[in-house]
A and B are shown apart, each in its own frame.
Chain A
Amino acid sequence: MTHEVHKVVRESGGRRIIIADSATSVTEANKNDIVVDGSHCGANIASDYILPSGARGMIGNDAGIGLENAGIASLKILEEHGIPAAAVAAMSAEIGVGQSTYSDGVISTVNAVAKKMGVAVGMTTKEAANKMLAGVLKRRG
């Protein structure tokens, strides 16, 4: 667990889009948030940080995807929990830097839940995060 002051980039209907350098800084305080972070999307990010926090969505870095697609393994895990998630291409944004994921990132991979909310490959992170926020707000009804 690391400690960070997260930047809030948007807030609507009690839900937020926040930026973190590391997903390991995400806690229960982020249970209403779409988390945009600089971390890879490996399995541990979903099981150890995003799921326990109760966050509503996640966008991270695909880390070059790598051996056995490990760099995007958390997308599938989150999908099984109904959580929208996507990854940006490692060549589009600086891994480890949440602001770069948000400002420079281009989506390379999307899970089925995010897809249903309109998130698509090739989209900017900003647009993808906005789609997730809208989808999460609609879901709340």
Chain B
Amino acid sequence: MAGNITVIKKSGNRKIVVADSAAAMDERSKGDVFVDGSHCGVNVGEMTINSGMGAMIGNDAGMGKNDAGIVALKMCDERGIPAAAVAARSAKIGSGMSTYEQGKISVANETAKKMGVRVGMSAKEAADKMLQALAKS
């Protein structure tokens, strides 16, 4: 359902949260690791930054024209927000749970890499790395 979020786990005052769409980002998930089924385009970058997410993992949407499908990663990097995308061939776009359960990381920004996120890692493992790093901070 639109706007629904599922809390997967907690560490300290941070959570891993899953939603089908980045449009579900709001106060409930502030500072959390937000895993969604959306592409990582420019508008998703704006949503992630403006709603104060702690970290974001989305779908690379096949990267596409001008790498538009992963633009949000760079935008988040500039704000010190860890972000990564899963390959469109690894998870069903539009399904946050598929990103989380099936997704394989295809791109990670520098902030995420510093937290131990690597290309080829499962989204679950990547989200755990992000949660651990944020919970410590």
Contact = CB atoms under 8 A, between A and B. Distances in A.
A32 B25 CA distance: 28
Contact of A1 (B23, B37, B42): B23
B55 interface: no
A95 B98 contact: no
Contacts of A71: 61-62, 88, 93-94
Nearest to A42: B94
Contacts of A49: 2
B41 interface: yes
Contacts of A39: 38-39
Interface in B108-126: none
Interface residues of A, number: 37
Nearest to B25: A2
Interface in A39-55: 39-40, 42-45, 48-49, 52
User: Which secondary structure dominates chain B's binding surface?
Assistant: loop
A61 interface: yes
Interface string B1-27: 111000000000000000011010000
B64 A63 contact: yes
Nearest to A63: B61
Given A40-B61, A44-B20, A91-B62, 9 more contacts: A40-B38, A44-B2, A63-B88, A67-B98, A68-B92, A71-B93, A74-B94, A90-B69, A95-B41
Interface of A: 1-2, 21-22, 24, 38-40, 42-45, 48-49, 52, 61-68, 70-71, 73-74, 90-97, 100, 104
Interface of B: 1-3, 20-21, 23, 37-39, 41-44, 47, 59-66, 68-69, 71, 88-95, 98, 102
